[in-house]
Structure 1
Amino acid sequence: MEIQPGRGVAAARIGETRETVENRLGPPMHPGKVSRAVYDIGRLLVISYTGDDLVELVELPHDAGRGDEAFLDGVQLTWRLLDDVVADLAAKGYRYEQDESSSFLFEAGFVLFSAGSRTPRDLGLDAVENASRSVCEGVSVGPYEYFAAEPTEEQVAAWEREFEAAVAAMDADESMRKFRGLLE
């Protein structure tokens, strides 16, 4: 799935209403009026909504190499070694700053990140040779200003709770449990 920096993806664009997105995609996997919704569109798509139900952030977790990874300008973003992805994008002129040791903010309006839950071995790479390298586990797409603003402690705590809830929801999904069992 191709990302559109600062704008989202074809399935959901920044500024669209929840109603527009859900008319296009159907209801989220776990319906309810929450600020973050997870959609199964043949791959997972996570959308954060404002209090006014407008899309403010679009996130694509990796697809574990099943065939629907995130791309930009011919570069596969997810399910690759993070430093290789960053180098490929830099070679194409995309400017970035390292946000944290496993997060890179690109001025075009997206962030590549590793949650540290995947290793080079998951990609079929030699674990010893690549032991210290991170896997790009996802991409968040939104306006640069969204990422550059310093969040409050309350926002960080809320995001952590939402992320943990989304992971728990994915783990509770039987097909995801079976898939993870195949990977282990």
Structure 2
Amino acid sequence: MEIQPGKGVAAARIGETREAVESRLGPPIHPGKESRAVYEISRLLVISYTGDDLVELVELPHDAGRGDEAFFDGVQLTWRLLDDVVADLAAKGYRYEQNEPSSFLFEAGFVLFSVGSRTAGDLGLNAVEGVSQSVCEGVSVGPYEYFVAEPSEEQIAAWERNFEATEAAMDSDERIQKLRPLA
């Protein structure tokens, strides 16, 4: 799925109403709290809404290599080593800053991140000693200003809880996918 930096993706654009999104995508598979919902199209899509039900952030977790990863400008963003993705985008001239060891904010309007739950081995790669092996586990798309505003402690805690719930749902989905051929 191609991201549109600062704007979202074709299925959900920043500033669009929840009603418009759900008329296209259907109801969320996990409605979450009022401000956040998880949708399943050909992949998972996590959308954060403002208090008046407008899309403010679109997140694409990795698709575990099943064929529908996030892309931008010909570069596969998710389900690759994070350092490789950043290097590819920097080579194309995209400016970024490193927020944390496993989070990169691009001025175009997106953040690449790893939460450390995936390894190079998950990608079928051998670990190389002394080299970062963080996997790009997701991309958050929104206006640059959204990412540089200082979040409150409550917002950070809510984001962490929601991301952990999304990861748990994805892990459960992967276990189900592995069992289906046995049925």
Change (3 A) 1:170 1:124: closer
Change (3 A) 1:130 1:117: farther
The match for 1:95 is 95
The match for 2:152 is 152
Q: TM-score, normalising length from structure 1? A: 0.91
Partner AA of 2:62 in structure 1: H
- Is contact 2:127-2:133 (8 Å) kept? no
Q: Identity, % of aligned pairs? A: 83
Aligned counterparts, 1:107-122, within 5 A: 107-122=107-122
Aligned counterparts, 1:28-177, within 5 A: 28-31=28-31, 34-128=34-128, 132-171=132-171, 173=172, 175-177=173-175
Separation (CA, whole Å) in 2 of partners of 1:68 and 1:16: 23
Deviations 1:60-87 (A, max 9, x none): 0001111100000000000001000000
Unaligned runs of 5+ in 1: none
Change (3 A) 1:129 1:149: same
- Is contact 1:120-1:131 (8 Å) kept? no
Partner AA of 1:176 in structure 2: E
The structural deviation recorded for 1:163 is 2.0
Which segment is superposed worse, 104-113 or 27-36? Answer: 27-36
Separation (CA, whole Å) in 2 of partners of 1:166 and 1:49: 16
Separation (CA, whole Å) in 1 of partners of 2:17 and 2:36: 13
- Is contact 1:8-1:141 (8 Å) kept? yes
Separation (CA, whole Å) in 1 of partners of 2:31 and 2:110: 26
SS in 2 for 1:47: strand
The structural deviation recorded for 1:180 is 6.7
Separation (CA, whole Å) in 2 of partners of 1:123 and 1:96: 25
Partner AA of 1:20 in structure 2: A
Report the count of equivalent residues.
180
Partner AA of 1:139 in structure 2: V
Deviations 1:113-171 (A, max 9, x none): 00100000111111245863210000000000000111111111121222233334445
Separation (CA, whole Å) in 2 of partners of 1:33 and 1:114: 23
Which segment is superposed worse, 154-163 or 71-80? Answer: 154-163
- Is contact 1:120-1:130 (8 Å) kept? no
Unaligned runs of 5+ in 2: none
Separation (CA, whole Å) in 2 of partners of 1:124 and 1:169: 22
